[in-house]
Structure 1
Amino acid sequence: MTFRRFVINNVLRNKRLYAAYFLSSLFTVMIFFTFAMFAFHPAFGEGDVDGNALFGMGVAGGIIYLFSFFFVLYSMGSFLQSRKKEFGLLMMQGMSIRQIRFMVFLENMFIGVIATVIGIGIGTLFAKLILLIAENVLVIEESLYFYFPLWAIIITLLSFTLLFLVISFFVTFILRSKKLVELIKADQQPKKEPKASIFLTIIAVLLLAAGYVTALLAKGVTVVIVMIPVIVVVTIGTYFLFTQLSVFTINFLKRRKLLFWKKTNMILFSDLAFRMKDNARTFFMVAIISTVAFSAIGALFGFQTYLTGGMKEANPYTFTYVEDEDASDEASQDIETVNQELEERGIEAKQESVEMEYYNMGDGEEVLIASETMYNDFAKLLGKNPIHLEHNEIIGVKQNDAIMEGYVQDNFTDQPVQLKNDEQLTLKEIIDGTVLPEMYGYYVVSDATYQQLPEPSRTEKNTVWKAAGGQDEKLIQAGETLRDEIETFNFQANDYTIYTINKMFGPVLFIGLFIGIVFFASAGSFLYFRLFTDLDDDKSKFASIAKMGLTDKELKKVITRQTALLFFAPIVVALVHGAVALTALSHLFDYNLVKEASMVLGSFFIIQVIYFIIVRFVYIKQVKSSL
């Protein structure tokens, strides 16, 4: 048997040992190929996506490829760490360190090439489904039809062949020889009892608390100012959390005799401190990478919702037209154009017009004062509750401040309104509600009081249309047509504007989603490698304990708890980090992102639960096979 044949047989006959590394590499290739297939789609060469988006996709592809390099390198390092005993046995049979390096090089290239080919094959197989998802996320007018991704195949094949070649050379170069006895007894080396520094444990708590409190208390642009210091502090605190605080907590629980001696807790806690100490760096890496994934996708999704949701709240009308005082004939023609377009497309919409009068408050600021009837007519159009005012009663209406943060209320609070008879009205109440087509806050007075107002400084006529729901596609098309026909900034087509924002933002969200998936999948693979690195030790340990009377049910319970702690400790920390980061983002924009944060963090948590269930099943099966 030739040396190359020995290497191939070694891989094929040890499927479990090589499976994790192979699947991680395959997944990485598949993600990159999917992204390349999407980026090289012919539809993008026809101008449907602008050059900035294509440039962004190119940068994202580079990020994914660079991260793939370090991910595969880490996976390979963990893979080799679990094979020390095997290398020792081979050296006993006469294999030199040079031959071991050459064996590792050939194995890595063999697995890499196979993973690349299969990854491309699976990506091509699900190409149409992937393109369909991309089409909907990106808000693309034309269909992303299936095509044979020749360039994507070539780029992926060349890129990952080079990647695995470089990693193979790099790994064999750093693979150092150790004494034979150390390799043979790699899994029998005694471990010292893990100890934690009380000082560093306190530092971990203080750093995390300081970072969280600072991030949660910051408002507006202060969030940007404190962002870098908070990231640094929380990152250091996270490292000490896993290296010191976790070990301190476990040792503390072990000293609680009632807890430690209860049922199978002795088995769990006896080994847990060693696992936490051994896996601290992996947990730290997984927590930080997962936090980046959560925060990036949550921030992109939240920012898109902020733009579109804030616009809907600030202007709830389908179409809005503001007349120029010196162009009434042109305004009448434009309004007729809107009505004709609505009629031709069969769009049901209610129309309302109003002359809004603005008054100089004496400090250079103009404020709209509307009558009760004006407000109620527009409230009825939006299906909101009307208001009823007494004579000489005045209230303020605070408009949506998602975009004009802090400006609205300060604009009119405590400013008296002067009537013709010199009587002054003082603002008594401020209510929330976007009703009249006005960006800033305004006053509302009773109809009788409205007649007593002095001459306004200026008058502005607004016409709005509110369409019934379920006509989104028609409204977008009508808005696009009207924006071309009515060439003025005074006309707004809300649905079409939101559509263009989604279309522009879609590629950014899609790119962020891809990068986030790669990061999160990599984090999961890191945990998988660390778990299966300890598989042989667990087999030996549980085989010994089973002889002492450990039942099958208890075995499953102990393994489930250990595996759950391994999988969810860093993910829970990442979820908390992500929640704090997204809360700080909501403070930056003064816009509630609870819904978006819950969707993103909840989705990732559900994925992790599914991954945990699968890995737990496989791990228990492997351990039970040795009993």
Structure 2
Amino acid sequence: MLFKLSMSGLKSKLKDYIVLLAGLVMSISIFYMFQTLALNKAFIEANSVIDSIQFVFHAGSFLLAIITFFYILYANSFLLSLRQKEFGMYMMLGAKKQKITSLMFIETIVLGFISLLLGMTLGVGLAQGIGQLLMKQLEFTAGGYHAFYLPSIAVTGVFFLFLFILSAILNGIKLSRITVLQLVHSDIQTEHAVIKGKRTAFIAFFSIILLAIGYAAMVNMGDLKEIGIILALVTITSGTYLIFMSLLPLIIKKMKGNKKRTEKGINVFTFAQLNFRINSLTKILATVAMLVALGAGAISAGMAFKNNIMLMVNGFEIYDIVTHNPTAEEKDTLAKITFNEKDEYHYKTDDQFVYYIKEELEKNRPFIQVYTDKGSFGKHERVSGELPADAVAYAEQGSDQILVPDSWAHALSTIQPYYVYPDHTIKIVEQKKYDEIQGKEGNVFIGISDDFEAHKEEWKKLDLLQQSKYDHAESINSKYRSYQEFYGVASGTVFMGFFLGIAFLAMMASCLMFKILSGASKDINRYQMLRKIGVRYSLLTKSIYKELFLVFLFPAIIGIVHVLAGMNMFSFILIDPYFRVWLPICIFIFIYAVYYMITVQLYKGIVLPKAD
């Protein structure tokens, strides 16, 4: 009988339960996706450039478990709020509170079991789809990744079953303490933000101190290592929750108290709405801020490692192509590439020397690397100084031959790699003497393209053509080979960053949309009342846009600040962790804006009466 009654209750509020179920399913699927990497030790250690990657994933699992724990408790408290009035009516008709508690327990477990099955099924599907898509886009083919991973299924199942049972018990305890009158009138109870000056100031100050400690730990992650990860995890998480709990109600109260702002349109209603529900918003918005930091941070880290590949390659190889005596096929391939810088030098060879023309080299000076500090790695400039005539790049000890300056020797070693003429020495001669030399003529083409990664197919073809020219093909150190080596090392870390970033952003959207839509039914009467007294439909729509914009804005700001501070964590293994960091942030803002527009449209569809 109780089971039938609980199922009848579920059907009676099906729309609300679908919103709840969608949020639970998404949180379970994201948790499972994370565990497919976190528990696969062999995969992450074989495909990461971070030494303590396993510890990082353990810390991440702990943080995600905390976030999920509070999210599930909140979701299940929403489940209780859906049925409070109905339970009150049952008790007024003579039902015992113990039976009502059992009914609530059954509903919580049934809904949890359904969401667990759907969540793990969706998690496997997302892990497979996102994993394969990223591998294809990143050209990452490392084995060992499993979308369907039994250890992840076991951990996810046990963790969420525990959470649902705990939630059912807590809901039962809460239900047993509520009076019948409170249950019957649950839909007309209000929330008040309790803001006390000294207490709020102390909590706000303490939260800022915690965040400062966390940021300092991330800046010095190279020295602190595992301790730094733990310190940042604890201080930033607790600091984020405290800053939302202390400052957000105060900010909303100040905005509501600004008469110039509230007297415009129906702003007084908008800010009253925010002030009305601020207590229930703070914790979920802090959770969203942490998910924003994790999601946008993971994508930013993935992009930083991807960008670092070219920074490393450019630090070791200046020219995209260096080819001697290019064949017709090589020239055809080179013609398809746009070059920002390109030069051609001529030379002659005899049994001992490779003769380069002094005037030609000085007119079109080649580039050399600039090594002044870490920030200059990968930068280059044209070689300076005079190039002596009859100078050689290398001379035996005790020889009276003139040596070229070191900077020129470095430039010449770039123009003529050691494998081209391994038994010859470079010698610089003037044009007049060059014309008199009897020897085999040759030329070398060097160039820097407009975008190396945009021409990977051409570089691959040129690399194969280069290999066919020389006896020791394995000794060729072309820029394309360097790129392949660095990409092979970093691609696993890039894959993990994008994979987890997509997962966390999906969970972030789920949390925020669930929070807003789950409370929408309580707002219907307010908007209908305003419409009946003559408030224009356009003003109501504008109020919704403004209210939800502020709700979305606060966690986005805190989350992005966390990301910008957190990128320092990788400064000891990346040349420039902030290189093009604006790109992933812009991608996040675009995705976030899409979530915002979707949420606004869904919320409008629930609370607004039909337009006349």
Q: TM-score normalized by structure 2?
A: 0.69
- State the secondary structure of the residue aligned to 2:19: helix
CA contact (8 A) 2:44 2:53 kept: no
Match runs of 1:183-582 below 5 Å: 183-192=183-192, 194-195=194-195, 197=197, 200-201=200-201, 204=204, 238-239=240-241, 241-318=243-320, 348=334, 373-374=360-361, 376-377=363-364, 379=366, 399=370, 405=374, 433-434=380-381, 443-445=384-386, 455=403, 462=413, 463-464=416-417, 466=446, 469=455, 470-474=457-461, 485=472, 491-582=476-567
Q: CA deviation at 1:267?
A: 0.8
Q: CA deviation at 1:19?
A: 1.6
- State the secondary structure of the residue aligned to 1:575: helix
Compared CA separation, residues 497 and 57, structure 1 to 2 (3 A): farther
CA contact (8 A) 1:134 1:510 kept: yes
Q: CA deviation at 1:77?
A: 3.3
Deviations 1:457-516 (A, max 9, x none): 98676225747745144356679999995566xx52322222232233222222233333
Q: CA deviation at 1:9?
A: 3.1
Deviations 1:97-127 (A, max 9, x none): 4444443443344334444554566677778
Compared CA separation, residues 532 and 122, structure 1 to 2 (3 A): closer
Q: CA deviation at 1:618?
A: 1.7
CA contact (8 A) 2:293 2:562 kept: yes
Compared CA separation, residues 75 and 269, structure 1 to 2 (3 A): closer
Deviations 1:22-72 (A, max 9, x none): 11233345446667889999xx99xxx796239979995993984785366
2:385 aligned partner, one-letter code: V
RMSD: 5.4
Moved more, 516-525 or 193-202: 193-202
Q: CA deviation at 1:538?
A: 1.5
Deviations 1:385-421 (A, max 9, x none): xxxxxxxxxxxx76166xx516889xxxxxxxxxxxx
Q: Distance in 2 between matches of 1:197 and 1:543?
A: 36
Q: Which residue pairs with 2:91 in the alignment? A: 91
Q: Distance in 2 between matches of 1:376 and 1:515?
A: 52
CA contact (8 A) 2:261 2:267 kept: yes
Compared CA separation, residues 557 and 236, structure 1 to 2 (3 A): same
> Structure 2: which 5+ residue stretches go unaligned?
336-342, 349-356, 393-400, 418-444, 450-454
1:264 aligned partner, one-letter code: I
Q: Distance in 1 between matches of 2:272 and 2:38?
A: 51
Q: Distance in 1 between matches of 2:126 and 2:222?
A: 45
CA contact (8 A) 1:299 1:582 kept: yes
> Structure 1: which 5+ residue stretches go unaligned?
322-334, 356-369, 383-396, 410-431, 436-441
Compared CA separation, residues 472 and 37, structure 1 to 2 (3 A): farther
Compared CA separation, residues 79 and 474, structure 1 to 2 (3 A): farther
Moved more, 264-273 or 573-582: 573-582
Compared CA separation, residues 208 and 447, structure 1 to 2 (3 A): farther
2:106 aligned partner, one-letter code: L
State percent identity of aligned pairs: 19
Q: Distance in 1 between matches of 2:304 and 2:488?
A: 16
- State the secondary structure of the residue aligned to 1:444: coil
Q: Which residue pairs with 1:620 in the alignment? A: 604
Deviations 1:433-468 (A, max 9, x none): 345xxxxxx6533667989x9656986762257477
- State the secondary structure of the residue aligned to 2:587: helix
- State the secondary structure of the residue aligned to 2:598: helix
Q: Distance in 2 between matches of 1:206 and 1:67?
A: 21
Q: CA deviation at 1:239?
A: 4.4
Deviations 1:71-114 (A, max 9, x none): 66245334235333344334334444444444344334433444
Q: Distance in 1 between matches of 2:255 and 2:127?
A: 51
Q: Distance in 2 between matches of 1:102 and 1:377?
A: 86
Q: Which residue pairs with 1:63 in the alignment? A: 61
Q: Which residue pairs with 2:23 in the alignment? A: 24
Deviations 1:331-355 (A, max 9, x none): xxxx99xx89x97999659986999
Q: CA deviation at 1:264?
A: 0.6
Q: CA deviation at 1:571?
A: 1.5
Aligned mate of 2:170, from 161, 174, 199: 174
Q: Distance in 1 between matches of 2:495 and 2:485?
A: 16
- State the secondary structure of the residue aligned to 1:187: helix
Compared CA separation, residues 127 and 292, structure 1 to 2 (3 A): closer
Moved more, 342-351 or 65-74: 342-351
Compared CA separation, residues 10 and 58, structure 1 to 2 (3 A): farther
Q: Distance in 1 between matches of 2:184 and 2:484?
A: 64
Compared CA separation, residues 353 and 162, structure 1 to 2 (3 A): farther
Q: Distance in 2 between matches of 1:564 and 1:219?
A: 32
Q: CA deviation at 1:302?
A: 0.8
Moved more, 219-228 or 19-28: 219-228
1:258 aligned partner, one-letter code: K
CA contact (8 A) 1:75 1:526 kept: no
Q: Which residue pairs with 2:583 in the alignment? A: 599
Compared CA separation, residues 196 and 287, structure 1 to 2 (3 A): farther
1:619 aligned partner, one-letter code: Y
Q: Distance in 2 between matches of 1:220 and 1:449?
A: 52
CA contact (8 A) 1:243 1:276 kept: no
Compared CA separation, residues 578 and 532, structure 1 to 2 (3 A): same
Q: Distance in 1 between matches of 2:206 and 2:28?
A: 41
- State the secondary structure of the residue aligned to 1:525: helix
2:586 aligned partner, one-letter code: G
- State the secondary structure of the residue aligned to 2:186: coil
Compared CA separation, residues 60 and 139, structure 1 to 2 (3 A): farther
Q: Which residue pairs with 2:339 in the alignment? A: none
- State the secondary structure of the residue aligned to 1:317: coil
Moved more, 154-163 or 533-542: 154-163
- State the secondary structure of the residue aligned to 2:284: helix
- State the secondary structure of the residue aligned to 2:385: strand
- State the secondary structure of the residue aligned to 1:82: helix
1:445 aligned partner, one-letter code: E
Compared CA separation, residues 167 and 127, structure 1 to 2 (3 A): closer
CA contact (8 A) 2:29 2:124 kept: no
CA contact (8 A) 1:294 1:516 kept: yes
2:182 aligned partner, one-letter code: E
Q: CA deviation at 1:570?
A: 1.0
